[in-house]
């Protein structure tokens, strides 16, 4: 089977894209198209093809012409992607696309060539991006023409159905965890870090609320520490807040790290924390893969009732969930777990069993491979 895998990038945080591409390549002829050199590349056949619009034009259209410019930019992106990817689309049997926002770029060519394709929706592409009317119109065509739609959670599936997708086309397939991610089984006392968070510092991850939650815990337990792994637009604001609260020595910002280093820090941490919310833009998490990876390494999780998180964190069994923006309650739960290692360890054990059963990378590869085979035959 000749598969065209299309994603704008394979970024440092997108191990789920890399692992799927590599897994599909073991039995199939896969060409992975990206617009920039991928961060992870071993074992995959990729091509870097320029289908992006120059930053100068993006700035001019987005910021100077505002809404009219956004419409022009949307059309330009589709036109350039269709032109530059035509031959790749044409010579493959089926196309697999990560993100609805990526799929619309080559949608006209997919329809024109009557090519079988499958689209994986992740979160923002079925939440905040719906403010773009041109995108909403194209979504109707995607829902009609795609062979299958993949969602990583039942929450995402519900959003897809509400926005017009036929439920029978949607397949819930969890993001996979690499079976090589080994749990070091360090004792509570052997672990160096109390709390850890992994993810981009963006409004939907709300690291500001997380820092305030940690501060609530810190007031009762001044020797506590928090490791923050990731970069993003809110990095400086987070650092400034730590200085303001006087916890700059207790909160360590490690920046964006390769997955192998992330796993090492997770293994040396006691509790995973993440305060995901729906910000004013409407953007939402899809599946929260970092939470799943932490749970697979026996870390209990303190997080929020947000999107698909309650599907991979079982409240009061594998972790504790609080309402979005309720940083005071989150701080209390963080303090509770760090002061009760037996309960934290029990939750960690339960979470590992649950998440490994839910998120098998091997099963994900097989399920998506079957979808692509069926898409071609139909």
Domain 193-358 adopts which CATH fold? Rossmann fold (3.40.50)
Domain chopping of the chain, boundaries: 2-176+360-377, 193-358
Q: What is the pLDDT of residues 359-369, one digit of tens each?
A: 989 999 999 99
Distance, CA of 151 to CA of 164 (rounded, Å): 14
Distance, CA of 137 to CA of 114 (rounded, Å): 19
Going by pLDDT thresholds of 50, 70 and 90, the confidence category of residue 179 is low
pLDDT value of position 180 = 60
pLDDT value of position 57 = 83
pTM: 0.89
For residues 360 and 213, the model is more confident at 213
- Centroid of chain to Cα 95: 21
Q: Look up residue 165 and give its DSSP letter.
A: -
Residues in the chain, total:
378
Distance, CA of 305 to CA of 284 (rounded, Å): 12
Is the distance from CB of 293 to CB of 197 less than 8 angstroms?
no
So what's the architecture of 2-176+360-377 in CATH? 3-Layer(aba) Sandwich (3.40)
Q: What is the pLDDT of residues 307-353, one digit of tens each?
A: 889 999 999 999 999 999 999 999 999 999 999 999 999 999 999 99
Query: Do the domains spanning 2-176+360-377 and 193-358 agree at the CATH topology level?
Result: yes
């Amino acid at each position: 089977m000749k598969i065209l895998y299309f994603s704008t990038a394979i970024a440092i945080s997108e191990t789920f894209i890399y692992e799927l591409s590599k897994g599909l390549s073991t039995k199939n002829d896969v060409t992975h198209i990206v617009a920039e050199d991928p961060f992870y590349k071993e074992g995959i056949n990729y091509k870097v093809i320029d289908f992006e619009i120059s930053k100068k034009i993006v700035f001019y259209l987005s910021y100077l012409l505002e809404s009219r410019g956004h419409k022009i930019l949307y059309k330009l992106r589709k036109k350039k992607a269709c032109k530059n990817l035509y031959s790749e689309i044409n010579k493959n049997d089926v196309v697999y696309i990560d993100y609805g926002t990526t799929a619309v770029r080559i949608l006209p060519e997919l329809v024109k060539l009557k090519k079988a394709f499958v689209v994986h929706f992740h979160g923002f592409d079925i939440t905040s991006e719906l403010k773009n009317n041109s995108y909403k119109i194209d979504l109707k065509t995607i829902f009609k023409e795609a062979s299958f739609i993949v969602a990583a959670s039942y929450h995402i599936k519900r959003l897809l159905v509400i926005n017009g997708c036929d439920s029978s086309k949607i397949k819930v397939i969890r993001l996979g965890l690499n079976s090589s991610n080994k749990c070091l089984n360090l004792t509570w006392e052997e672990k160096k870090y109390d709390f850890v968070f992994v993810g981009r510092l963006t409004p939907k991850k709300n690291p500001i609320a997380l820092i305030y939650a940690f501060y609530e815990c810190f007031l009762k337990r001044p020797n506590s520490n928090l490791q923050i792994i990731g970069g993003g637009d809110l990095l400086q604001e987070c650092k400034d807040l730590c200085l303001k609260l006087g916890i700059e020595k207790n909160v360590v910002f490690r920046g964006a790290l390769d997955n192998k280093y992330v796993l090492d820090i997770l293994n040396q941490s006691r509790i995973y924390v993440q305060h995901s919310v729906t910000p004013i833009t409407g953007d939402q998490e899809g599946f929260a893969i970092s939470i799943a990876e932490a749970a697979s390494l026996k870390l209990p999780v303190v997080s929020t009732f947000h999107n698909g998180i309650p599907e991979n964190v079982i409240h009061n069994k594998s972790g504790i969930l609080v309402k979005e923006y309720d940083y005071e309650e989150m701080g209390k739960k963080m303090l509770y777990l760090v002061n009760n290692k037996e309960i934290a360890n029990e939750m960690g054990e339960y979470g590992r069993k649950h998440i490994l059963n839910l998120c098998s990378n091997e099963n994900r590869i097989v399920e998506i491979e079957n979808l692509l085979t069926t898409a071609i035959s139909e």
